[in-house]
Structure 1
């Protein structure tokens, strides 16, 4: 094939934040924005994204697992997701938008294990096809506000006794604060890749979307970053 006809690899964009931060809404709005500009785009999520990974997600969000078992389950789901869905889309020239990726694993699973941050990144490099996001948006919201949003979203079913609930949603405020601080630590450490967008009680989705699209427009054309 002539090199001039070779399809450029697409971009890989991830959104991170505590539950209730609004990242899923921003994934949807960004996808709609790219579609409106005739940019090939695929949206997905983690844990999940493929049939097998979605089955693993159901176990992860509804069952209490040992910390190491939980981490390895997330990694198994990610491998299936990357190989079957993310990499093929990127190699076909699609922009891939993923609701959570490795940073969530570092924060949610890594913080429960000794030297967990280093372990998560090490496992990712050794076991996964070598890909990292071109850019990550951390939606930075105060934990108490995020927790209130989750309560409103779940309504009267907000309790640990309801098996339909995501067990990560029904944690207490101290847990939300720990997760939030974990994301802040990563954002401070990886300033080049992770862009922090502050959200307040008065924020609407539109200003956040405008910030995201400005960053997107500034990305270099071409290839998704490799580890």
Structure 2
């Protein structure tokens, strides 16, 4: 797991081709080891260089309170309901303190994971009740979803090889391959439910090839 009002754009939908990159919410999803951070870094640098107001953030986390909750979620044992409640509590603070104000002023928000990760990790991976997650999503987000989600899809075995020497694993990174197979299936289900919002990126390629795919897909959507 990585980095930290009246909406100015619709909660769902593809941005119009002619619209400037302002007041938009882009999330990045995928299992640990998919390589999201490299491509978030590149987009952040490119769009800042173009003079755009870019807000870089992450989940769990993004605010002082949410970062404290993140540490508990990643490192303390707890049941799935407690885990989900802490994640959504952090998300509520994150939305109120960072995401909604940024969108309201017309910024471009880049978020390393958002609510799709909760359905993939806590729902599909941990086997927690999806209906409860949907209720929490409705209460906390009140319709707010990313305008576009980049899902970095990679076989769990390949992701595990990448992570093997990267760092000391947190509670989720230390899960077995079967867990990440379920998480990947959870992401796939979210993509199939909202294909207009999701862009699937084949992350089982070289960094340069993935970067080209990201740029091509974003350009095709008018970003």
Distance 1:213 1:89 in 2: 23
Determine if contact 1:71/1:110 at 8 Å carries over to the other structure: no
Whichever of the two has the greater Rg, that structure is 1
Equivalent in the alignment of 1:141: 154
Deviations 1:54-76 (CA, angstroms, capped at 9, x unpaired): 00000000011111010000000
Work out whether residues 13 and 98 of structure 1, in 8 Å CA contact, stay in contact via their aligned partners in 2: yes
Distance 2:195 2:188 in 1: 10
Q: 2:172 aligns with which of 168, 178, 188?
A: 168
Q: TM-score if structure 1 supplies the norm length?
A: 0.83
Kindly report which structure 2 residues correspond to 1:114-153, keeping only aligned pairs within 5 A, or say none: 116-153=129-166
For residues 158-181 of structure 1, what are the alpha-carbon distances to aligned partners after superposition, in whole Å with 9 as ceiling and x for unaligned? Answer: xxxxxxx41111111111211112
Q: 1:46 to 1:28 in 2, by over 3 A?
A: same
TM-score, normalised to structure 2, is 0.84
Give the superposition deviation at 1:199: 2.0
Alpha-carbon RMSD: 2.0
1:17 to 21, 30, 47: 30
1:81 aligns with 2:85: no
1:177 match:
181
Q: Are 2:191 and 1:187 aligned?
A: yes
**Which SS does the other structure have where 1:137 is aligned?**
strand
Unpaired runs of 5+ residues, structure 1, are 1-7, 158-164, 222-227
Distance 1:43 1:102 in 2: 16
CA contact (8 A) 2:91 2:140 kept: no
